[in-house]
Chain A
Amino acid sequence: SQQGEEDPQALSIQEGENATMNCSYKTSINNLQWYRQNSGRGLVHLILIRSNEREKHSGRLRVTLDTSKKSSSLLITASRAADTASYFCATLNSGYSTLTFGKGTMLLVSP
């Protein structure tokens, strides 16, 4: 089965810096979504990018998708301590209705 994989597994930065996380996948997708999970809490949907889109913005978030390389990146600009969380990419595979998650990137933003 397909498996999204995030890179890096962990990232530590200072407030104000940008954070970039990457995700790779293996099969044809309908869309790719990014979620955030704060410690002990549920998954919060951040952004969805469709397979025919290349870039999308939402506030301080910028997502790119390269279907030829089967990869996506999530950029968080001007990071804040409150951005500290685990970030997961999830793909909606073509022909299916369920999400396939990666293992996630743990982001630590220090004040």
Chain B
Amino acid sequence: EAGVTQFPSHSVIEKGQTVTLRCDPISGHDNLYWYRRVMGKEIKFLLHFVKESKQDESGMPNNRFLAERTGGTYSTLKVQPAELEDSGVYFCASSQVTPWTSGSLKETQYFGPGTRLLVL
């Protein structure tokens, strides 16, 4: 079974440009999450999709970030315009069920390899 995949693996852009990151979750996983780790800091939650709906976007830093999951399959995260402080590693994760579904390990979040973004 294929894991979570992310594209691109690396991206180097200039301040003010636009970058779009893509995440393909594990097939059949309704839940998709975006996290990021900026240099020297903790991995921080950005947002959570259940199918195509945004369940929780409380971690999105500002309106320069736009996440979509049309059709409830893959998701994109667009940063426009990019700023220097956006540099970091962006992780995507997926899980089969939402964490409040009891009695199974299906709430485990499986992470992709991340996209390393560098804004110059």
Known contacts: A30-B99, A41-B113, A43-B111. The answer to whether A101 contacts B56 by CB under 8 A is no
Min CB distance, A46 to chain B, in Å? 10
From A3, A30, A48, A101, give the contact of B108 (CB < 8 A).
A48
Which of B12-20, B42-50, B68-76, B79-87 lines the interface with chain A? Answer: B42-50
A45 at the interface (CB under 8 A from B): yes
Q: Is the CB of B113 within 8 A of A42?
A: yes
Most interface-central of A35, A92, A97 (chain B CB within 10 A): A97
Report the Cα distance A83→B33, complex, angstroms. 27
Q: What is the number of residues of chain B that contact chain A, defined by CB distance less than 8 Å?
A: 28
Would A45 and B111 count as touching, CB distance under 8 A?
yes
Known: A42-B113, A43-B114, A98-B56. 18 other contacts (CB 8 A): A3-B42, A30-B100, A31-B99, A33-B109, A35-B111, A41-B113, A42-B114, A43-B93, A45-B108, A45-B110, A88-B43, A92-B99, A96-B99, A97-B98, A98-B33, A99-B43, A102-B42, A103-B42
Interface residues of B (CB under 8 A from A): 4, 6, 31, 33, 35, 41-45, 48, 55-56, 59, 91, 93, 98-100, 105, 107-114
